[in-house]
Amino acid sequence: MNESLTYQNFEAGMEDFEKLINRKLVYIDKTSYLEDLLHRAMVTLLLRPRRFGKTLSMSMLSCFLEMNYLHPEDRSRPERLFRDLAIYKNKAFCDEYMGRFPVIIISLKSAEGSDFVGAMKSIMELLGALFKKYAFLAASDKQDPSYVAALIRRKDICLNESLNLRDTVNMDTAIAIAKSSLKLLSEMLYAEYSKETVIIIDEYDVPLQKAKVNGYYTEMLDVIKEMLGNALKTNNSLAKGFVTGCLRIAHQSIFTDINNFVCLGSSNDTQFAEFIGLTKDETASLLSQCGMESRLPDVVAWYDGYSFAGNDMLCPWSVLNFLYDALSPKNDCTVFKPQNYWANSSGNDIIEICMKHPDSSDLERIENLMRGGSETITLKTFTSYPEINGNTSFDTFATLMLHTGYFTEVWDDEIVRTEKTADGNSAYDDSDIVRKTVIKIPNKEVLQCFLEKAKSIFSKENPEWIGRALEMLNALFSGDAEQVQNIITDMLMSFISIRDASVEAYYHGFMTSVLGIAAGTAGQGKNRINTIKMESQEDSGNGFSDIILSKSFEGKAVILEFKKCKTGTPKAFRNMCQEALKQIEKKKYEYRYRASGYQEIIKYGIAFYGKGCLVIKKTDEPVSE
């Protein structure tokens, strides 16, 4: 690594190891893990959250192992790439492994589509690139003629941009190609070089996630299961297999029956916990080389907090983006504020679904997490990619969000964890043993994702929220206290905030937000005389009312006074409502409106406690002429 770094040394999202080294971009040296990783198992599944560098790690592994196909004894390429890295000091290991193997590497992160046809088209494109790379095998006299014919035919099919996969015959052909091509290529490479092949499959679960969302999960599962099974289970030409993803799909025969298989997840992977991601020491070293040592507390607060088997880790995507921006000539790196890079790297729809969950106890758990608290969950095993909707259990939500990086585990010696199996795997990966753990939101960056989603849900941009707010407004002016109470209770149950609900100001802010949206929406349109005016804590009578809504065109006003109960008993609710109504009368909040000729004034005393409320109404009858 360079001794002194500038913004030109950083490019977050660079996933090609060779390009990264050639362009002298920052690389945190993880090569010291290669020897143990290659000796660990025949097939290794590495699970880490998104944006932690799985693809770059697999690209590095491929560059280290892959031979020169035209000149197998020429190892100048890996020597050039690795000579300044830790693994190069291990001469015996490098002599045995560096540049010695045929390698097939494929990333499935782009294998998606709005339907199965689109997804299969993308898989054909990925396989077409592999067939094009290994097309030279067709000219070899070491190859079985039938394999050569198969390679040429498959290459032509995969690279045919006009291929119509809506035709059943063509789709069946594409599915057969997808299931068997990795094995076919490995067998041809073995025939050519008498060396078993290393197969690397990156982001294997992305096609399954996209398929679940878009309704073709069963078809895609069949393809991925057979593709991995043929390549990794029944393949005598396999030297080693490496698979990465965020989530392990168990009990679907994707990984069962594989000899010498190990799953290294963020919960159980103690040996390789720091292989993918940034440690705090690595981050501090980076900042030091940038002359930004003083910014470590900011970087830790925003991007740290992940725990992999008890090891604190930072998200490299976010740290590298921050350093690039902070070092940019247009910014002052000593004061540049950390940004939320995670939010823009992928969709955060799962947060929105969580926040619209109908179970109030689950919403309270989410709110507690947003306040900085922790929650105990039962980890779920998934027999298919989980369907996420408003009825999904909190434990399922939380397990998925733990795997994808929205939550992290709290490691504490007092927390009882499942015993490890003989190969080091957590039992929950392969069985239905119940395993509990404690989770939290890892850092400010991810917390901001939750907060931004909350703003979008509970705002005028959300038709559902506007609809409920308008219902409340109409109920207030029509004098329907019971309906007002029901709507407020429903909205409180789904309102996510990190403000302090122990004080009255929390509820005042909530009501001001809701009614402000409703009043502004109701006042839109060509007929501006219909505008509803809202005043919050304005000078009125002998004091400051909480909220007053008025319709000058109808001569009607609504006065709201809020009280926070000390307990949630029915008596406490009633007493606080009556106290609120007495305050309205004593302070003469209606005086200005009565003096202006308003004919009807409805007064509400509203008492709150937790997620509940009571609404009591008093109406001043129209003044007779």
Mean per-residue pLDDT for 193-209?
Answer: 96
Please determine, for residue 232, whether its predicted confidence score (pLDDT) is greater than 70. yes
Q: Which of 71-85, 385-399, 554-568 has the highest mean pLDDT?
A: 71-85
Q: What is the pLDDT of residue 498?
A: 47
Among 100, 97, 104, 154, which residue's Cα sits nearest to residue 125? 154
CB 356 within 8 A of CB 317: no
Mean per-residue pLDDT for 314-332?
Answer: 96
Region of 555 (left: φ > 0; alpha: ψ -120 to 50; beta: rest) is: left
CB 514 within 8 A of CB 489: no
Mean per-residue pLDDT for 85-97?
Answer: 98
Among 101, 138, 127, which residue's Cα sits nearest to residue 180? 127
User: Looking at per-residue confidence, does 522 or 576 come out higher?
Assistant: 576
Burial 41-78 (b: 16+ CB within 10 A, else e): bebbbbbbbbbbbbbbbbbbbbbbbbbeeeeeeebeeb
CA 323 to chain centre: 22
The dihedral built from the CA positions of residue 402, 408, 410 and 411, taken in this order, carries a sign that is positive
Please determine, for residue 416, whether its predicted confidence score (pLDDT) is greater than 60. no
Distance CA 381, CA 428 (A): 7
Q: Which of 218-222, 252-256, 407-411 has the highest mean pLDDT?
A: 218-222
Instruction: Compute how many other C-beta atoms are within 10 angstroms of the C-beta atom of residue 568.
Output: 13
Any idea what the Cα angle at residue 399 is, between residues 394 and 402, rounded to 5°?
120
Mean per-residue pLDDT for 567-575?
Answer: 95
CB 421 within 8 A of CB 435: no
Q: What is the pLDDT of residue 31?
A: 98
pLDDT digits (tens, 9 = 90+) for 113-142: 999 999 999 999 999 999 999 999 999 999
Mean pLDDT taken over the chain? 88
| Least confident residue range of 144-158, 441-455, 548-562, 601-615 | 441-455
Sheet of 375-378, strands arranged across: 375-378, 436-440, 408-409
User: Looking at per-residue confidence, does 402 or 416 come out higher?
Assistant: 402
Region of 622 (left: φ > 0; alpha: ψ -120 to 50; beta: rest) is: beta
Any idea what the Cα angle at residue 507 is, between residues 506 and 508, rounded to 5°?
95
Written as six digits, the tokens of 458 are 């509970």
Q: What is the pLDDT of residue 345?
A: 63
Q: What is the pLDDT of residue 89?
A: 97
CB 517 within 8 A of CB 469: yes
